[in-house]
Amino acid sequence: MLLAQVTDAFLSTINTALRGGILATPDMGLFINTPTLTVDSLLADLTEPTYTGYARAALVLEAVRKDLLGSYIQPFASALFQPTNNTNLPEQINGYFVMATIAAVDTLLYAEYFDSPEVLSTSASGISVIFDGYVKNLLTWGGYCAVC
């Protein structure tokens, strides 16, 4: 295992690589089914909403920041999902996912259920999702150790 101290410069390098690599254009979407989510889950396991106006949202990487305890946060711009009319509503939304196209294949990177389902009932309703990557201080992350 490759070990290196996690520093501001190191995280900045990772951030630059992400911007130019697979996470240069990640997308976020919603799902309405209730799959069993595992590390082997595929994008095809998720059923996306059918309300008018639904589309995956492009996520934009923002600047890496550190909290007061020294943990690193890789924020993405938030994604807003809102119907454009009342067709196919109400619709229950069970969770969200993050995907990217890798080697010309749409690949699921992350999926999570909401604490409780969200219901889009009219075109005036919407769901805003904020997604941040988090690297806790003094823990191993991605093969790198902050204390080794």
Mean pLDDT by 10 residues, the chain (148 residues): 46 56 75 94 96 92 78 80 96 93 83 95 94 64 45
98 is a domain residue: yes
Domain membership flag for residue 10: no
From residue 144, alpha-carbon distances to 11, 21, 28, 61 in Å are 11, 19, 27, 21
Cβ-Cβ contacts under 8 Å for 85 (sequence gap 6 or more): 52, 53, 123
The tally of domains found in the chain comes to 1
Residue 138 lies in a domain: no
Decide if 47 is inside a domain. Answer: yes
Structural domain contains residue 124: yes
Within a domain: residue 34? yes
> In the prediction, which pLDDT does 50 show?
96
Structural domain for 120, as ranges: 26-58+74-131
Q: Is 58 left (phi over 0), alpha (psi -120 to 50) or beta?
A: beta
Select from 114, 106, 131 the least CA-distant residue to 31: 114
How far out from the chain centre does Cα 142 lie?
17
pLDDT of residue 145: 43
Domain membership of residue 141 (yes or no) is no
Per-residue pLDDT at 33: 98
> Does any domain span residue 104?
yes
What is residue 144's predicted lDDT score, i.e. its pLDDT?
46
pTM assigned to the model: 0.74
Instruction: Report the candidate in 100, 99, 97 with the shortest Cα–Cα distance to residue 114.
Output: 97
Q: Answer for the pair 129, 78: CB distance below 8 angstroms, yes or no.
A: yes
